Amino acid sequence: MEEKQPISELSRSFDYSQTHDDGIKESFLKFSAKMNELDKQLGRFSNDCLQLGRVAGLLSAIKITREMLGRTREAFFRNAIALHPELFELARQDCTAKSRDPNGQRYFIPPEYFHDRLPPFRILPIALEELAQSFNRLHVRIDQIGGFTHEALSLKSLLLSLGCDLMYRVSYIRVHSDRLNTPSIQHYVHQFTDLLVTDFEKVQAAFEEFTAIGIPAISHEQQRSSQNLASILTAATFFSSVTATTLQMSVGTNPPSGTLHVASMLWFASLVFSVGAALNCLLAMAWKEARSYPWGTLLPLWVIMLINGSQLLFLGASIVMFSAGLVVYAYSSGQALYTPYVTVAVTAATSFGLIVILIWMIYMICVSLVLRQQAGVTKSSRESIYSGVSGASSILSNRISGTLSNILFSFGRRRYTDKDDIEKVEERGITVEGSPTREETSPRRLKAKLRETVKNASTMGTAVSAFISAGHRYGRNIWKVPTAPKNRFHIDTNIPSIPTTQLNLPLQPVMTIELARYGTVHDIAYSEDGRWLAVLAQRRVHTSHGQRYMTR
């Protein structure tokens, strides 16, 4: 276990002769400044998110991410002062200075850091891991506010990629956790700052774009949804008053008959449906405008349908019940002979369009919910803890949407399927070079072309498999490479696959690269047979003409 070192013991822990020319100060200042810019951008993003609904979880994730950025800066500062001890005094003077130059160098280290003992080196992988988790949490919370815009997709993709990159670096540091106090490992760890600066620049640019374009778009969509609910609420309230007024005719009719009781029953049901539509509108408006909620947005399917789609369904059922009650009342109230027939004809004409619209709305609700929950673009495996959709509801929704789709598309246009984009093999004419109008009928050439195609596919499949296995071996399988789909027509050509090259690495190191002699390692590469290792290193040397870079 590594213990905290007092500040006075810092000068006895490391050899400074290897670090004075490596640009430790400049690289850390750039890294700290970029982290400060990202922190400010997260603050502006948090302020703009206040105009949205259901953002309590997002605001909490932003706050945690900003705290983790500060802890990560302090962890890399601990590693930097081990390589360049003068940074400690410079940073302390910067935080205690009463007047600062706006264009001067800033370290952004809080004063509390200098009052305690220096933290141990082992906090670096812990801080990086917590930062990766905070970015992943931020990715999930941004997905929960909705708004499927291009800016949101780009931002969530960058956050997910950054979290994976940080976890990869954490895995490397944990392997060498017992040697984090050695100069060679400290130099290599300090090189992470240059890579993180590039990643933070991309994330900051994505946050700026999402704040400028994505947040107003999501806010407009939420306002439009609230206006639609308000319109439905007004219609449901007005229809409830109309139904209650009409109900007085059947209640006050003497003597009552059996058909009048049926009409009263239908009008009572219509009144209940209209009141239910109004209440569900109020419930949906309160849910959409709530600042915080404990369930997340991935609620069970039946809850989402009850909140988002029940208002129009209840209102439509109320209109159907009211129309049916009018027809029954026309027959039972002793009106003129033609009155019931005219009422039935008009009701049938209007109800047909209403029923078709209701079926279409049910179909769209089911399809949109199923596609949104099955979409893999805006969801990752980390979001499965927030999902509450049961298997039975998913199967039921799929069956309902499939049945309604078949019914609707059977009346008119042919249903579009993914197979329409697939070009059939027998419909393509393979022409001979130099004769465009003449079809290729030679079986030998056709077989040769098919063999060449299968051979290319086999070669690419072997290369992809080797890449995936190498990524798993070294622990950096960040991007998931999709496997190639199976061919529609299986052709057995007995073509052997190309064997992959296996690297035979020695168990013990052959030599040690001296940092003072060769400088900073920038890149390494193995030969094809794995017997040789090429190392690209660069260091600065002092000459009579100034400083120059020497590359080996």
Structure tokens at 332: 């039972």
Determine which of 98-107, 136-145, 206-215 has the lowest per-residue pLDDT on average: 98-107
188 and 274 inside one domain:
no
10 Å CB burial of residue 371 (0-12, 13-18, 19+) is exposed
What pLDDT is stored for residue 528 in this prediction? Answer: 66
Domain termination site, one of 399, 416, 433 = 416
What pLDDT digit, counting tens, does each position of 436-481 carry?
Answer: 444 444 555 544 554 554 444 444 444 444 444 444 444 444 444 4
What pLDDT digit, counting tens, does each position of 356-409 carry?
Answer: 887 887 888 777 666 666 654 444 444 443 344 344 444 444 444 444 444 444
Nearest to 320 by CA among 361, 281, 350: 350
Q: Does residue 227 fall inside a structural domain?
A: no
Are 187 and 515 a contacting pair, CB within 8 Å? yes
What pLDDT digit, counting tens, does each position of 102-123 carry?
Answer: 555 678 888 888 887 888 889 9
For residue 213, report the phi and psi dihedrals to the nearest 5 degrees.
-115, -45
CA distance 503 to 523: 18
Give helix 183-190 / helix 56-83 axis angle, nearest 10°.
140
* Residue 139 pLDDT > 60: yes
Q: Does residue 374 fall inside a structural domain?
A: yes
CA distance 357 to 319: 13
What pLDDT is stored for residue 22 in this prediction? Answer: 52
**Structure-model confidence comparison of residues 387 and 58, the more confident one:** 58
- Using a CB cutoff of 8 Å and minimum separation of 24, what contacts does 317-320 make? 317/270, 317/273, 318/236, 318/239, 318/243, 318/270, 318/271, 318/272, 318/273, 318/274, 318/277, 319/239, 319/270, 319/354, 320/351, 320/354, 320/355
**Structure-model confidence comparison of residues 188 and 552, the more confident one:** 188
* Residue 130 pLDDT > 90: yes
Nearest to 270 by CA among 347, 324, 346: 324
153 and 200 inside one domain:
yes
CA distance 91 to 86: 9
- Using a CB cutoff of 8 Å and minimum separation of 24, what contacts does 371-380 make? 373/298, 373/301, 377/153, 378/143, 378/148, 378/152, 378/153, 378/156, 379/143, 380/136, 380/139, 380/140, 380/160
Q: Reduced to 3 states, what is the DSSP secondary structure of residue 522? A: strand
What pLDDT is stored for residue 330 in this prediction? Answer: 85
For residue 342, report the phi and psi dihedrals to the nearest 5 degrees.
-65, -40
What pLDDT digit, counting tens, does each position of 14-25 carry?
Answer: 343 344 445 888
Q: Does residue 224 fall inside a structural domain?
A: no
* Residue 248 pLDDT > 90: no
- Domain total for the chain? 4
Spell out the SS3 assignment of 14-49: CCHHHCCCCCHHHHHHHHHHHHHHHHHHHHHHHHHH
* Residue 552 pLDDT > 90: no
What pLDDT is stored for residue 493 in this prediction? Answer: 44
* Residue 132 pLDDT > 80: yes
Q: Does residue 475 fall inside a structural domain?
A: yes
349 and 381 inside one domain:
yes
Which helix (H) or strand (E) segment holds residue 542: the answer is strand 533-543
64 and 203 inside one domain:
yes
What pLDDT digit, counting tens, does each position of 262-310 carry?
Answer: 888 999 999 999 999 999 999 888 887 765 555 445 567 777 777 777 8
Q: Reduced to 3 states, what is the DSSP secondary structure of residue 438? A: strand
199 and 326 inside one domain:
no
- Could you list the residue range(s) of the whole structural domain that residue 463 is in? 442-498
* Residue 335 pLDDT > 80: no
170 and 263 inside one domain:
no
**Structure-model confidence comparison of residues 232 and 392, the more confident one:** 232
Nearest to 148 by CA among 380, 381, 379: 379
C-alpha separations of 410 from 401, 405, 406, 414 in Å: 14, 8, 6, 7
Q: Does residue 503 fall inside a structural domain?
A: no
Q: Does residue 522 fall inside a structural domain?
A: yes
Q: Does residue 40 fall inside a structural domain?
A: yes
Query: Which phi-psi region, left, alpha or beta, contains residue 105 (left: φ > 0; alpha: ψ -120 to 50)?
Result: beta
DSSP code of 539? E
Nearest to 147 by CA among 382, 378, 387, 380: 378
291 and 208 inside one domain:
no
Q: What is the largest CA-CA distance in the chain?
A: 120
CB within 8 Å of 433: residues ≥ 6 apart:
none
Model confidence band, residue 31 (pLDDT cutoffs 50, 70, 90): very high
* Residue 199 pLDDT > 70: yes
186 and 111 inside one domain:
yes
Give helix 24-48 / helix 86-96 axis angle, nearest 10°.
40
Helix, strand, coil fractions of the chain, as percent rounded to 5: 65, 5, 30
Nearest to 550 by CA among 524, 512, 510, 517: 517
Q: Does residue 149 fall inside a structural domain?
A: yes
Residues above pLDDT 90, as percent of the chain: 24
For residue 316, report the phi and psi dihedrals to the nearest 5 degrees.
-65, -40
What pLDDT is stored for residue 52 in this prediction? Answer: 84
What pLDDT digit, counting tens, does each position of 529-549 carry?
Answer: 666 777 777 776 666 655 555
Are 382 and 376 a contacting pair, CB within 8 Å? no
What pLDDT is stored for residue 51 in this prediction? Answer: 84
Structure tokens at 87: 């940074």
What pLDDT is stored for residue 459 in this prediction? Answer: 46
356 and 475 inside one domain:
no
Determine which of 40-44, 163-167, 420-424, 498-502 has the lowest per-residue pLDDT on average: 420-424
Instruction: Please state the rounded mean pLDDT for residues 37-42.
Output: 94
369 and 466 inside one domain:
no
> Rounded to the nearest 10 degrees, how much is the dihedral formed by the CA atoms of 379, 383, 388, 391?
60
**Structure-model confidence comparison of residues 475 and 90, the more confident one:** 90
Structure tokens at 440: 């290729």
CA distance 456 to 60: 51
CA 461 to chain centre: 28
354 and 300 inside one domain:
yes
210 and 305 inside one domain:
no
CB within 8 Å of 454: residues ≥ 6 apart:
487, 491, 493, 495
Structure tokens at 175: 């392997």
Question: Taking the CB of residue 387, how many other CB atoms lie within 10 A of it?
Answer: 13
